[in-house]
Amino acid sequence: MGKAIKTVNAPVTEGFLLSDIRRTGSSFRMLRASRMTTKGVLSLLTAAILVFSFLMAGLPTGARSVSANSRTRRSNMSPDLERAIVNSPFGTVRVIVDTKSSSNSSTFARLATKIGAMGGVVFRSLNHNKSMSIQIPASAVAALAADNAVKYLSLDRKTVVTGHLETTSGAADARNYGTPDTGTIDGHGIGIAILDSGVYAAHHAFNSRVVASIDFTGEGRTDDPYGHGTHVASMAAGNGHVSSGAYTGIAPLANIINVRVLDSLGRGSASNSIAGIDWCIANKDLYNIRVLNMSLGTVAVDSYVDDPLCQAVRRAYDAGLVVCAAAGNSGKDANGAKVYGSIHSPGIEPSAITVGAANTFGTDERSDDGVATYSSRGPTRGYYTDGDGVKHYDNLIKPDLIAPGNKIIEAESPNNALVTGNPSLDSVVTANTNHKMMKMSGTSMATPAVAGAVALLFQRNPNLTPNLVKAILEYTAQPLAGLSNYEQGAGEMNLEGAVRLASLVRTDLAGLTLGDALLIDASPTASSTIAGETFNWGGGILQKFNFVYGPALLTTYQGIYASGVLLSDGTIVSNGVLLSDGVLLSDGVLLSDGVLLSDGVLLSDGVLLTDGVLLSDGVLLSDGVLLSDGVLLSDSILADSLPGSVAQSLAMSALGGDLTAGMSAAPDTDPIH
């Protein structure tokens, strides 16, 4: 058992009440809100109710109720402006006023005069004097809205710089899919456990959100002298404090649980990681841990059925946790040729979300994205040997999906071994130790992007099962052209679609059975627009040896979404033929003809041998050779085929560190992790 080093609770800070903003001349001052008596609270609530009543009374009759015509606005005010007034009835609000007037009409001047008489200030005219930006007392907004010249009032919302990661992943778009109960979709309240080399908690990307730290390495420390874990944690949950948000993580307000299982040189063991997983299971309720990130691994030898690290991941899954695991960085050999069958453990575990690395080439647009050449490819090649000495390979389709993982800039721990050994990793963003950033590549970087995504899904719909989280991410993913399921899984993660779909899933999942309606809106748009480009969702879910697809996966509850089964349990092999499991999958779910190949076509016959090995031209033959598309990493060359020694290959490590030494340079490779 590891020794608990410290528990850091996020401090409760005194804030400010918007009602304490007072206008003095042309300036505003904010008064500290330190105490408020019970009588004062009641007075404030009473005043809020009165102002809200006045607000509703002042609105036009047609704006106070929903019209029979669904296209008629309920109000000529934006909902967030209405909430801002109710929340702070004695404060001021920034508003954009859209008028009904034509350009440069006298109406604009009249409204500006009226706003001034109400105690407001006009900051600037917009749209050729048809709109204006103002600040006005909240109590005056209703009267302004009732003016016949006003077309619409909206809150003058704050804008922030969005970084490449949150933009290209769709996280920036997903921020807006919150409700008054959830707030902005930023991961707040969700715990993400980072099983890695430690986290430098003082970095300002975290702002006291490292709520617990524990060490399982025996070194008696929980900081990050190696440098891997801090970078990983900030991808999942780094805030926008540095460089005006240019390096914001996926879930910037999620809590971080620092579970140190790799030492000062980035080395560890399966037992360290298993102890860390068991600790997370035991403490999941204390820290609201919903997702574990494992940007580490070792070469897979055993079948997932026997692999103790995979068994630990399964225990976490059975406890209701989602485990995100890196696929590995063994996708090519020393000559740059593709290598298949190189998924690392615990990424071979069916219950894990196994993540490969996408190369975005530094652009927010996704049309040029591909799979990073180093990203490990499936199928999984763990195996068991029967009594006759015959090896039976797992041959599962992995990874499950891909996410941005190439040349990602995120938080840097001070004087870490990675930057010391390779100074070019420092991004030279600033000299401030608590703001420093570094650039890294690898499936280690892609994995926390998905872990952060899981946090967003749970924030938006806390009742999702781990299987539904995985299904939503796969169904909404964007398949990339020219790449097989063994390379990209279901496709590239799409958070705009995933969070939007999660918001439509019913919350009473525990009572649903096969075929029941799954969504509160049965017809969501199955496409997304990110960085100005629109694409269709893949619309399918990976199974062990192929995938299933069809709108029924979206509209009706499937047995594979329940707890106690795997998402990949929807198909079975019977007499050597792959069939749909009618108990777990409803009518309307289609079984694909096989695995998507790199030329964009499907394996035509879909026949499997009983040990799960695909048998067809250009795909796997039972002797462990992959035709046409690369080489297969079979058990006979598992360790020796990888650069570095056998001992290094079999050691638990931050993925890529020692295993990529000597690989030839490629457009998508920095030192890989």
Helix (H, G, I), strand (E, B) or coil at 306: coil
Amino acid at the residue 150: V
Q: Indicate the angle between helix axes 443-460 and 466-475, nearest 10 degrees.
A: 110
* DSSP run (H or E) holding 228: helix 228-237
Q: Is the dihedral of CA 303, 309, 312, 318 positive or negative?
A: negative
* DSSP run (H or E) holding 112: helix 106-117
Strand spans (E) along 233-329: 255-260, 267-268, 289-294, 296-297, 322-326
- CA 231 to chain CA mean position, Å: 16
Burial of 553 (0-12, 13-18, 19+ CB in 10 A): buried
**Rounded CA separation 521/70 (Å):** 16
Q: Cα angle vertex 1, ends 201, 251, to 5°?
A: 35
Helix (H, G, I), strand (E, B) or coil at 615: coil
* DSSP run (H or E) holding 528: strand 527-530
The set of long-range contacts for 547-552, using a CB threshold of 8 Å and a minimum separation of 24, is 547/397, 547/485, 547/490, 547/592, 547/595, 547/596, 548/580, 548/585, 548/589, 548/590, 548/591, 548/592, 549/589, 549/590, 549/592, 550/588, 550/589, 550/590, 551/526, 551/588, 552/586, 552/587, 552/588, 552/589
In this structure, what token pair is assigned to residue 330? 């063994």
Amino acid at the residue 647: A
**Rounded CA separation 551/590 (Å):** 9
Q: Are 46 and 12 in contact (CB under 8 A)?
A: no
Q: Is the dihedral of CA 560, 564, 567, 573 positive or negative?
A: negative
In this structure, what token pair is assigned to residue 496? 């705009």
Amino acid at the residue 445: M
End-to-end CA distance of the chain: 27
Q: Is the peptide bond before 379 cis (omega within 30 degrees of 0)?
A: yes
Q: Are 350 and 400 in contact (CB under 8 A)?
A: no
Active site residues: 196, 228, 444
Q: Cα angle vertex 257, ends 254, 258, to 5°?
A: 130
